[in-house]
Structure 1
Amino acid sequence: MDHDDRPIGRLLSRREALALLGAAGLGVLVGCAPKSTEAPQPTGLASAAPPSLNPEVQTAVATATANPAGTATTPTSIAELPNCVATPEQTVGPYYADVQLNRSDVRSDTSTGVVKEGVPLQLTIRVSQISGTGCAPLPGAIVEIWHCDAQGVYSAFAQEGTANQNFLRGYQTTDANGQVQFTTIYPGWYQGRTVHIHFKVHTTGANGQAYEFTSQLYFDDAISDQVFSRPPYNAKGRRDQTNATDGIYRDGGEQLMLTLTPVGDGYAASFHVGLDLSDSGVGAADRMGGGLRP
């Protein structure tokens, strides 16, 4: 693959979650440890660090919640799975850059003022903490996103021709409802990967230690085909991967799909991230990516 590392371990599928829920009131699975790989390094980007950013990563834990009576709820379909199933973790990829840029609109490059062209996307991410009785909004967490532009190019990397640029990157801090909002564009594609957005959540675990969670968000292939038929995307030609053929998507991507709503000439989407902060063991997945502090 050109831009991303291999998937990190085995992730819980929705079918397996259903099976676990049927077998026990509180099912838990922990992902396997990843292999270390080399990654490109970002160049020339620095600013004052927000207080919660850190290089540690928390391995995803898939947890189902018992109902108040103490009896396991057993959904009959994927759509009925409770919101308190933790979001699966996926690889950070080699194009993470710790730009530490606090902004909601991530479309522009701050060094040049150039705004990336593309189909507008309003993205809302809601972060919740999983407990034994349900989900509660998690305020004060830092949520970062980053993704490629309409031509499949990431900012911040010399080999991309974008050293010292920071378009399509930024972070926000969750409000009292655990929400952040970003204004961005529909991502393009590049060789070896389906369409996706990377994200990280930085907060504090139950043991008081730094907790970091990393994953990716995906798009419906039919909508991507429609978007890519329009300029500026159509200048790149036909993509070589769909969700079904993407190796990283196959390990949990069905749980990371965005549901898009048409808004004007673009789309709006929201995603609920469920975190189990009770297990604050340190993982190593993010150390595969470029731009991480030692």
Structure 2
Amino acid sequence: MHHDHDHDLGLAHDLNRLNQQALQRRAALRWLLGAGAAGVAGSGALALAGCGGGGSDASSSSSSGSTGSTGGSSSGGSTGTTSGCSVIPSETEGPYPGDGSNSANGSIANVLALSGVVRSDIRSSIAGATGTATGVPLQVIIELVNTNASCADLSGYAIYLWHCDALGRYSMYSSGVTGENYLRGVQATAADGTATFTTIYPGCYAGRVPHMHFEIYRSTNTATNWNNKLRTSQLCFPSDVNTAVYATSGYGSSAANNNAISLSSDGIFSDGYTTQLCTVTGSVSAGYVATLRVGISA
């Protein structure tokens, strides 16, 4: 469950808006330059919007997937201003971290120790495994900032991102994909504090809203075992985008599972998710881009 909910007012709010605009411009340029390499279908350029937390669980246009409003609360529906430089809440890593902290199928599961884990495109397995996850294309851009230094970008850190596949299965652990390690990867943050992952939109399994897990490390050199992590958290997605994605084929029972739960009833996000809700833009046909600003005390 959440803690560390910090809220600033006045000048901090204005700085947040400026920081979000800067993230939008950087994300848009990165997407336009790298869309071909990311393998995202569609001919139109995607209009991007930055995340700084905030947003409600209300639906807007599922065709464009352009969501993410400032303010909003999962616990009471009230609106307000959320700082763009709040410390991201610590969350459980769940039962499928693959970071060396537990076992899977009788042996320690640590994808962080495998050659090739530092990568941007996490759709395929590595180290001899050959599977590739399929689904609606998604680019995830996480901007890491220092809450102790006026939201300064943190470069040279490392983010380990992992999530389930379109059928709700976690590689290394779930039946049918125990021999795979796809949808897991590490990226170093660039000079602008961003780490970019090319992946697929995750499925929705029973009991949880669609989400992704991530751990923050001081560098790629220390991102080899969970003992070195600085923070663990989760990110989530707007409900209208979930609905649009799960109306496509290949996502199994995700639509039904998603309809049975909301951010307000989810066991992780029910106490608030304003700093963890991504802004998602794009469409099913062109692919989506999710952006999130993540603050830590560095």
- The verdict on a shared fold, with TM-score over 0.5 as the criterion, is yes
Post-superposition shift, 1:222? Answer: 1.9
Aligned equivalents of 1:146 and 1:210: distance in 2? 17
Residue matched to 1:135:
151
Q: Determine helix, strand or coil for the equivalent of 1:216.
A: strand
Aligned equivalents of 2:229 and 2:213: distance in 1? 17
Aligned equivalents of 1:109 and 1:262: distance in 2? 26
Residue matched to 2:281:
261
Instruction: Give CA deviations for 1:70-118 in whole Å, capped at 9, x if unaligned.
Output: xxxxx99867433222111111111100212111000112234332111
For residue 178 of structure 1, the aligned residue among 193, 197, 200 is 193
Matched, 1:233 2:248: no
Report how many aligned residue pairs link the two structures: 207
CA shift in 2, pair 1:276/1:179, >3 Å: same
What is the correspondence of 1:112-191 to structure 2 with a 5 Å cutoff?
A: 112-131=129-148, 134-157=150-173, 159-191=174-206
Residue pair 1:260, 1:269 contacting (<8 A) in 2 also:
yes
Q: Determine helix, strand or coil for the equivalent of 2:264.
A: helix
Post-superposition shift, 1:255? Answer: 2.2
State the TM-score, normalized to the length of structure 1: 0.64
- The residue identity in structure 2 corresponding to 1:96 is P
Matched, 1:223 2:241: yes
State the TM-score, normalized to the length of structure 2: 0.63
Residue matched to 2:51:
none
Aligned equivalents of 1:234 and 1:76: distance in 2? 33
Aligned equivalents of 2:268 and 2:71: distance in 1? 27
Aligned equivalents of 1:134 and 1:174: distance in 2? 18
Matched, 1:86 2:78: no
What is the correspondence of 1:246-285 to structure 2 with a 5 Å cutoff?
A: 246-262=266-282, 265-277=286-298
Residue matched to 2:223:
none
Q: Determine helix, strand or coil for the equivalent of 2:256.
A: coil
For residue 264 of structure 2, the aligned residue among 219, 244, 268 is 244
Residue matched to 2:23:
none
Aligned equivalents of 1:212 and 1:12: distance in 2? 15
Decide which structure has the larger Cα Rg and report it: 1
Instruction: Give CA deviations for 1:197-237 in whole Å, capped at 9, x if unaligned.
Output: 10111118xxxx95511101101112111111101114655
Residue pair 1:11, 1:252 contacting (<8 A) in 2 also:
no
Aligned equivalents of 1:113 and 1:154: distance in 2? 15
Residue matched to 2:3:
11
Q: In percent, how many aligned pairs have the same letter?
A: 36
Stretches of structure 2 that go unaligned for 5 or more consecutive residues are 11-69, 73-78, 100-110, 220-226
Residue pair 2:171, 2:182 contacting (<8 A) in 1 also:
yes
Stretches of structure 1 that go unaligned for 5 or more consecutive residues are 1-6, 23-74, 278-294
Root-mean-square deviation (Å): 2.6
Post-superposition shift, 1:192? Answer: 1.1
CA shift in 2, pair 1:85/1:266, >3 Å: same
Aligned equivalents of 1:76 and 1:90: distance in 2? 21
Post-superposition shift, 1:161? Answer: 3.2
CA shift in 2, pair 1:76/1:139, >3 Å: closer
Residue pair 2:120, 2:198 contacting (<8 A) in 1 also:
yes
